[in-house]
Amino acid sequence: MLSEQLDQLVEDALGSFKAATNSKSLYDAKVKYLGKSGKFTEILKGLGKLSKEERPAAGKLVNEKKKELEEAYSQILSNLETAELNKKIEGDFFNFSFPGSSEAQIGSRHPIGLVIEEMISILSRLGFAVRTGPHIESDEKNFSKLNFPKDHPARDMQDTFYIGKDHVLRTHTSPIQIRTMETEPPPLRILAPGSVFRCDSDISHSPNFYQVEGLYVDKKVSMAHLKGIIGFFVREFFGEKTKTRFRPSYFPFTEPSAEVDCTCPICKGKGCRTCSNSGWIEIGGCGLVHPNVLSSCGLDTDKWQGLAFGFGVERMAMIKFGISDIRLFNENLVNFSNQFNGAL
Amino acid sequence: MKLSLKWLCDHVDAGEFFDKPEILSDKLTDVGLEVEDVIRGAEGLEHVVVGKITKLGKHPDADKLTYCDLDVGGGETLNIVCGAKNHKEGDKVVVAKVGAILPGDFKIKKSKIRGVESFGMLCSNAELGLAKEGEKSEGILILDKDAEVGQDFAKHAGLDDVIFEINVTPNRADCLSHLGLAREVSSLFKLPLKARKSLDESRTKKDVDFTLELLNSKQCPRYMGRAVYGVKVQESPEWLKSRLESVGMNSINNVVDITNFIMLDSGQPLHAFDLDKIKGNKLIISDSKKDESFTTLDGTELKLTGEELTIRNPEGPVALAGVIGGKNSGVDENTKNIFIEAAHFVPSSVRRTSRRFGIETDSCYRFSRGTDESRVHDCLNEALSLALDIAGGELGERTFEEYPDKKEASKISVSKSYLDDRLGFSVDSKRIEEIFKELSFKIISSSSTEWTISPPGYRWDIEIKEDLVEEIGRIVGYSSIPEILPEVKSSPQNDVKSFTLNKKLKEQMIALGFNEAIHYNFYHSKDEAVLGNEILNWLKSGESINISNPLSEDLAVMRTSLVPQLFSNYVRNFKLGNKVSKVFESGQSHVFVNNEFKESGVLSAGIWNDDKNKAPQDLLSDLMGVLESLMSSWKVGQWRAESIVKDALLPSLMHPSLAARIISEGKEIGFISAIHPAKTEGLKVSNNFAFFEIDLNKFFNGKPRPIKYKAFSRHPIVERDFSVTVKKLHSMDEVVKKIKKASGKLFVSYALKDKYSGKGIAEDEVSLTLSVKFQAEDRTLAEEELKALQKKVLDSLSGL
């Protein structure tokens, strides 16, 4: 009797639970069957009329059924809630084609800064470390100690800005090499990045441009080392297949001296406008440090030898990024800057 | 240096390069004589020949056209229709045959003109690309009667030369002549140098009474000269004119042309004096006298300083040695007797004089780079020989010469192992010796491992063994040098600290959304310099530094602050339409202080936004946020921006009510301000621009500071809002101090949630809503405790 009555009750209850369309009507149904004055409570109360012997089994049965029903309720409620939430957020909308907030824009490094840092990071793997120096240098450190005697025609190659009679805006970062050799004991591997100045201004010359120079001083230093270092650098910077070529040249501070060409990274050496159809592009100069330079810094030339090299940063950046006018570097227009917000 | 291939052939048989000039140019470039350009005279003149009009008739269907039969050599006759009027039967003309491509990509094809077939074209100067600028061609070009029928026109006209434009480095002044380059070509291609014609001294004339006195042999180690009597000064012969013109030099007269020819041929600059204009029958080589005047050949009057080397007669200077001749002694059309000078002047002497007066001549270009002391006599003789040929006259019997100290040839020793070590690869002993010989180095002693050599007189650039490393290297070829990475034996080194710190700072600015700018280290305009100077005066940090020889007056002052350029940058960008942006620059400022040049790192940042809902104050607030972020990440303990009130010296860029000094740990390190509205007036840009600048030397001092971890409480943070009304100028520090004092250890941080001024609040006051965070280290804050705390805080604020 009781068992049938309970089965009927559970069936009815499940029916009305399932019929509920929202959590509210489900709750109402729950109250009706499982509430304080619900149907199960009524039956439990009615158990008092049973005999002592019958009571435990009946009680157990009622509780089992009640638990069964409660579990069913939880399941149905959870389903209903999920459905309700789904319905509620169905209308939420975001147009992912809209631009992101301008507050979250990362800034851009200047291409000159990017290139300098990349050059340094490549060469630092060969043990080179950065040294710096002032823009205004004595004539002595910019010229004399670098084996430019006074009245020497080599000074013609340098169109120099003077500050008074004895000071110049450094025409290369080589004075940093002098400063380092004068103050730090060899062996040395240093890089000298920075601003340099020459009296020249047009589409491919800036009166204030950037260089990275390198100096290596050790017991035995050769042209082959120079080629090794520069070859490595050029492949890292412009790509693995880039080839390097040395051409004999002249700088007062190196002997032998060479100009460095690399296969044009734009046309890969086939010939294009950037390389004037030669397939090669000039990127810097280098050589073995002239003994006069070493001795002007107090180094014993019987013990120490050196090599030095230098690259024009703008030139490297122009080749790397395909920039055709050097003046762009200085205008700092947002339209230009924004193109360099990537990590290199 | 322009090298004419035809001219080169005077010295060495280089004819093979007419067809393949690139072989020569590549080789020269490979050995360090960079060929920048190769100009072929015959370009566009292939299939263009000399023809003879054997028959001339009228075109059957066109009155204005003629119909010609042309003998173009080799038994070939061409029929050509021509529209010109200036030709007649028997004329020699220029024929562009079918297949020719004339300048301007004009292709000559077989064609039919009004029904008559034509097999080429008779050419005018213009069609051949030979018309001088502005010249109009009148009809076709009619050649000399003796032009050779069938000959290539380029050859006939002497246009078959090839000119090489060579960038000669300062150490290789010996290659600033055709002979010099011929020597190089001779050794590179193993072609023998041709012998030179010697001077015919069979007929000479007794010299006039004349003396030479050398008083400064330090600056003029060797001086020679010889007279030619009875010359006729006139136009040079064609061959000489075309030689000079082929390398871009104008012909003047035969005597001057001879001196120029020898200079371009042998590298020795010469000077010809009109002997009759030399007063007192005496030439003296000595220093000038202070303040004496001298008029150059081209009429420029100079005041000498007493330091120039001059060639003079007893009345005064007649030439600035090696630089330029005097008007008082130059050769002109009336000159009868000449004295040709050949000398060796010391480079520095010529260079100083040239620089002092800003005179650049081909002569001083060569002297100041060095000339061959040993060939002075040879060159003089070559010039005399030419003079007798071209200008006639008789040779003076005496060769004048002063050469007190003959220079000894230098000797250099080098070992094979040294050469190999420096080059980084091994060169065969035999090859080394061969190269020395090819370069005409005299081998004084030799073993298979060591040599002592003496370079020829024209290789004065060879002084030390390193020079020999280069010679062996460049002749073997730099392409033979292997790539070897040096082993790292030196101990690890760090980048200089300021560089590393700067890099970090830049990365932070990028992360904060700023674009990096790099401007010149000198101002771009006078306006910027004025603004910079105001900042300098205001900060009292020193004087500005001027460039003595600026590119222009606008680019004359080294920057003392980066703000003026940042402002220009803003204007430039805004005008282009970039109306919202953030820019920074980390660079150097340059001031002269305590008698020294001082350079300091400076960080400058600017921000602009033309949004109508934004005020300059909002931009300042953004910049304060940036500063806060920097200060906190660099572990700066105490910093603040201190409002500037009524400062008469305030730079005009700065807003008098919206400017502050940045004080960090008690030291002033910079400033922050909105732009003064007057500065943007008339520029059509918004007023919404604000900027700050900090001195990085001060900022980086003692940085980086170590990061020290501090344990933090895991009990929940509670947030409570407080409203307080304070005076507008009231320092926030004081408000916070009160809150901190009232909340003791429980205070975590605060944020300014809202600020309001306007209706309901006194005009000089502002209502602030602060959100304060509290947390206890050891417990969750209970509601009662919080309530008490809130009251305590409020009470403490009420006193403000």
Q: What is the CATH number of the domain that holds B137?
A: 2.40.50.140
Q: Are A293 and A148 in contact (CB under 8 A)?
A: no
Share of chain A above pLDDT 90, in %: 56
B697 pLDDT exceeds 80? Answer: yes
d(CA A105, CA B510): 9
Chosen for mutation from B34, B516, B602 (greatest number of chain A CBs closer than 10 Å) is B516
pLDDT recorded at residue B136: 67
- Both B732 and B783 in one domain: the answer is yes
The share of chain B scoring above pLDDT 70, in percent, equals 99
Closest chain A residue to B368 measured between Cα atoms?
A153
Asked if B693 and B739 sit in the same domain, the reply is no
A331/B466 CB distance under 8 A = no
Q: Which residues pair with B400 in a beta bridge?
A: B225
Which residue of chain B comes nearest to A290, CA vs CA? B466
Are residues B393 and B269 located together in one domain of the fold?
Answer: yes
Tell how far CA B471 is from the center of its chain: 27
Could you tell me if B171 lies within 8 Å of chain A, comparing CB atoms?
yes
Restricting to A residues 21-80, those with a Cβ less than 8 Å away from any Cβ of B are none
Q: Is the pTM of this model over 0.95?
A: no
Please say if the pLDDT value at position B475 is more than 60: yes
pLDDT score at B174: 95
**B671 shares a domain with B569:** yes
Kindly state whether residues B573 and B696 are assigned to the same domain. yes
- Whether residue B683 sits in one domain with residue B622: yes
SS3 readout for B174-196: HHCCHHHHHHHHHHHHCCCECCC
Q: Are residues B667 and B561 in the same domain?
A: yes
SS3 of chain A: CHHHHHHHHHHHHHHHHHHCCCHHHHHHHHHHHHCCCCHHHHHHHHHHHCCCCHHHHHHHHHHHHHHHHHHHHHHHHHHHHHHHHHHHHHCCCCCCCCCCCHHHCCCCCCHHHHHHHHHHHHHHCCCCEECCCCCEEEHHHHCHHHCCCCCCHHHHHCCCCEECCCEEECCCCHHHHHHHHHHCCCCEEEEEEEEEECCCCECCECCEEEEEEEEEEECCCCHHHHHHHHHHHHHHHHCCCCCEEEEEEEECCEEEEEEEEEECCCCCCCCCCCCCCCCEEEEEEEEEECHHHHHHCCCCCCCCEEEEEEEEHHHHHHHHHCCCCCCHHHHCCHHHHHHHCCCC
If one counts the domains in chain B, the total is: 6
Provide the chain A residues 88-117 that lie in CB contact (below 8 A) with chain B: 102-103, 105-110, 112-113, 117
- Cβ distance B338 to B259 under 8 Å? no
What is the Rg, in whole angstroms, of the alpha carbon atoms belonging to chain B? 41
Q: Which residue of A has its CA nearest to B354?
A: A151
Partnered with residue B95 across adjacent β-strands are B49, B122
Of the ranges B56-65, B69-78, B100-109, B245-254, the best mean pLDDT one: B245-254
Report the share of chain B in percent with pLDDT over 90. Answer: 72
The whole-number pLDDT of residue A343 equals 61
Closest by CA to B150, choosing from B46, B73, B71, B75, is B73
Interchain contact B494–A (C-beta under 8 A): yes
Of chain B residues 13-52, which have a CB less than 8 A from chain A? 29-32, 34
B706 falls within a domain:
no
- The pLDDT value recorded for residue A48 is 78
Is the N-terminal amide bond of A187 cis, ω within 30° of 0? yes
Q: Which residue, among A227, A244, A293, A341, would best test binding to B if mutated, counting the most B CBs under 10 Å from its CB? A: A227
In the predicted model, what is the mean pLDDT of residues A34-45?
82
Q: Sort out which chain B residues have CB atoms less than 8 A from A201's CB and list them.
A: 551
Per the structure, the complete domain to which residue B269 belongs is given by 204-402
Total residues found in chain A within this entry: 344
Closest-CA distance of chain A to residue B503, Å: 9
B351 and B471 housed in the same domain: no
Q: Are A249 and B32 in contact (CB < 8 Å)?
A: yes
Establish if B131 belongs to a structural domain. yes
Banded model confidence at residue A344, pLDDT cuts 50, 70, 90: low
Q: A207 contacts in B (CB within 8 Å)? A: 520, 551, 555
Q: CA-CA distance, B199 to B228, in Å (whole number)? A: 13
Same domain, B608 and B693: yes
Q: Which residue of B has its CA nearest to A333?
A: B573
**pLDDT score, position A239:** 93
How many Cα atoms are found within 13 Å in the side-chain-facing hemisphere of B20?
5
pLDDT value, residue A232: 97
Are B495 and A338 in contact (CB < 8 Å)? no
State how far residue A227 is from chain B, nearest Cα, in angstroms. Answer: 5
Tokens matching residue A214: 């390198």
- The verdict on B169 touching A (C-beta cutoff 8 Å) is yes
User: Which residue out of B421, B472, B547 would a mutagenesis test of the A interface target, given it has the greatest number of A Cβ atoms within 10 Å?
Assistant: B547
According to the model, what pLDDT value does residue B730 have? 80
Here the CATH number for the domain that contains residue B172 is 3.30.56.10
Q: Are B242 and B171 contained in the same domain?
A: no
Q: The tokens 């001077």 sit on which residue?
A: B199
B758 phi-psi bin (left φ>0, alpha ψ -120 to 50, beta other): left
Buried b / exposed e over B572-602, threshold 16 CB at 10 Å, is: ebbeeebbbbbbbbbbbbbbbeeeebbbebb
B134 vs A161, residue with greater confidence: A161
Q: Please write the tens of the pLDDT for every residue from A115-171.
A: 999 999 999 999 999 999 999 999 999 999 999 887 776 666 558 899 988 899 999
CB contact under 8 A, A207 and B551: yes
Q: Same domain, yes or no, for B235 and B185?
A: no
For residue B344, list its beta bridge partners.
Answer: B222
Residue given tokens 């600056």 in the structure block: B219
Residue of A135, A179, A334, A335 to mutate for B, most B C-beta atoms under 10 A: A334
Judge whether A131 is closer than 8 Å to chain B, CB to CB. Answer: yes
Residue B782 lies in a domain: yes
Q: Is B239 on the interface with A (CB under 8 A)?
A: no
Of the pLDDT bands very low, low, confident and very high (cuts 50, 70, 90), residue A339 is very high
B290, B353: one domain: yes
How many CA atoms within 13 Å lie on the side-chain side of B125? 12
- Domain assignment present for residue B194? The answer is no
> Does the beta-carbon distance from B599 to A136 stay under 8 Å?
yes
Residue pLDDT, tens place only, B512-543: 999 999 999 999 999 999 999 999 999 998 99
Across residues B136-156, what is the average pLDDT?
83
Report the CATH number that the domain containing residue B613 is assigned in CATH. 3.30.930.10
With tokens 């024009």, the residue in question is A312
Q: Which residues pair with B531 in a beta bridge?
A: none
Q: Which residues in chain A are contacts of B551 at CB distance < 8 A? A: 199, 201, 207
Q: Point out the least confidently predicted range of A156-160, A172-176, B460-464.
A: A156-160
Terminal C-alpha separation, chain A: 83
Q: How far apart are CA B102 and CA B85, in angstroms?
A: 21
Give the closest of B348, B483, B499 to A227, CB-based: B483
Whole-number pLDDT of residue B539: 93
* B515 lies within 8 A of chain A by CB: yes
Residue B12 carries which DSSP code? Answer: B
Of A156, A228, A255, nearest to B486 by CB-CB distance is A228
> How many Å lie between the alpha carbon of A272 and the closest alpha carbon of chain B?
17
Residues forming beta bridges with residue B339, ordered by sequence position: B227, B273
pLDDT for A157 equals 56
pLDDT in tens, B342-365: 999 999 999 999 988 989 999 999
3-state secondary structure of B583: strand
Checking if the pLDDT of A218 tops 60, the result is: yes
Nearest CA in chain B to A156: B170
Q: How far is A229 from chain B (nearest CA, A)?
A: 6
Residue B496, token pair as written in the block: 């200089």
Is residue B198 a part of any domain in this protein? no
Residues 225-264, chain A, touching B (beta carbon < 8 A) = 225, 227-229, 231-232, 244-250, 255-259
Q: How many CB pairs under 8 A join A and B?
A: 244
* Tokens 């059957």 belong to residue: B60
Q: With beta carbons under 8 A apart, name residues in chain A contacting B422.
A: 222-223, 256, 288, 305
Task: Test B590 with A329 for CB contact under 8 angstroms.
Answer: no
Q: Which residues of A touch B547 (CB under 8 A)?
A: 161-163, 169
Q: Report CB contact under 8 Å: A218, B494.
A: no
CB–CB of B457/B375 below 8 Å?
yes
Residue B712 lies in a domain: no
Residue B595 touches chain A, beta carbons under 8 Å: no
For residue A305, the chain B residues in CB contact (below 8 A) are 422
